[in-house]
Amino acid sequence: MAEGKLGNVLKNWQAPKAPSFKELSGRYVRLVRLSAADHAAHLFRAYDGHDHIWDYLPYGPFNSSAQYFRFVSELASQSDPYFVAIENKQTGQYLGVQSYLRIDPNAGSIELGHICLSPAVQRTPVSTEAFFLMMQWAFENGYRRFEWKCDALNMPSRRAAQRLGLSYEGIFRQATVVKGRNRDTAWFAAIDGEWPALKEAFNAWLSHTNFDTNGQQKESLRNLTRLVLAQSDPMQDR
C-alpha cells in the first residue's frame, strides 16, 4: 500500500477511562458532581431573574425551584452527560454547571457543554478555571480530542471558545432543531498535541501575578492562546 494513505499508527495508545471523579479543585473554583439535594436550590437562586442565560440551551427557563429540582435530579443520575456544579471557593456559592458529553473513550474524544453560568461568574477567573480543570482532566487522563459546540448564532460562546484556545473547525448547517428553531452548529476543538502550550497559557493567566490589586488582568488569555490555534473563527476576524 502506498505510503501516506492511512493515518498515523497510535503506538501504545489505550482508550481512556470515562469520567467518574467526585471533585476537581483549583485556585478559584471547586467542581463537584452535580446533586439536586446539594445544589439545585443554590443554582436556581443564582439564575433567578436572568432568563437570557437559557436562550441557546435546549431547556429552560424554569418557573419554580421545584421544577428545576426535578430537572437537576434527572441530570445528576446520568453518566453521559456527566454534570458538575461550579463553586466559587472564595464565597462558597454555587454559580453554574457544565458537563462532559458525547464521551467516546474508544475514539479518545470528549466534549464540554451544557454550560450555564450565573452572570456573576461569567468572564471571571472562576469560570475560566472551571473550563481549564475539565480540559486538564480530559487530556491528562488520555483523551486525544476536546470539543466545544454551540449555536452558530451564539457569538459569546464562539468568542469564549476562541479565547480558551479551541480551534474553529466549521459549521454544521441545519444540525438540529432547538425550541422549534433551526440551529446551525459551530464546532471548535483542541487536541492532545496542543495541550502543553494551552496548559502553560492557562497557568500564566490564572496566576495571581497576572491580576492587579483591583482584580484586572494584565495579560489577556486570548493573547496567550492565539498562537496555539490551528484555525481562527472567521466571524471573529471581521
Backbone dihedral angles phi then psi of residue 99, each to the nearest 5 degrees:
-150, 155
Tell me which amino acid residue 79 is: S
Arithmetic mean of pLDDT, 33-54? 96
Contacts of 139 (CB under 8 A, 6+ apart): 146, 192, 195, 199
Mean pLDDT of the chain: 95
Rounded to 5°, angle at Cα 166 from 162 and 170: 85
* Residue bearing the bigger pLDDT, 215 or 199: 199
Element (H, E) at 161: helix 155-163
107 confidence band (pLDDT: 50, 70, 90): very high
Rounded to 5°, angle at Cα 56 from 51 and 59: 70
Q: What pLDDT is attached to residue 237?
A: 66
Confidence (pTM): 0.93
Residue listed under C-alpha cell 456527566:
82
Mind listing the pLDDT tens digit for each residue in 120-148?
A: 888 889 999 999 999 999 999 999 999 99
* Full DSSP string of 193-214: GGHHHHHHHHHHHHSGGGB-TT
Q: Which domains does the chain have, with CATH numbers?
A: 23-232 (3.40.630.30)
User: What's the start-to-end Cα distance of the chain, in Å?
Assistant: 44
Q: What pLDDT is attached to residue 4?
A: 61
Burial readout 61-94 (b: 16 or more C-beta within 10 A, e: otherwise): bbeeeeebbebbeebbeeeebbbbbbbbeeeebb
pLDDT surpassing 60 at residue 2: no
Q: What pLDDT is attached to residue 1?
A: 45
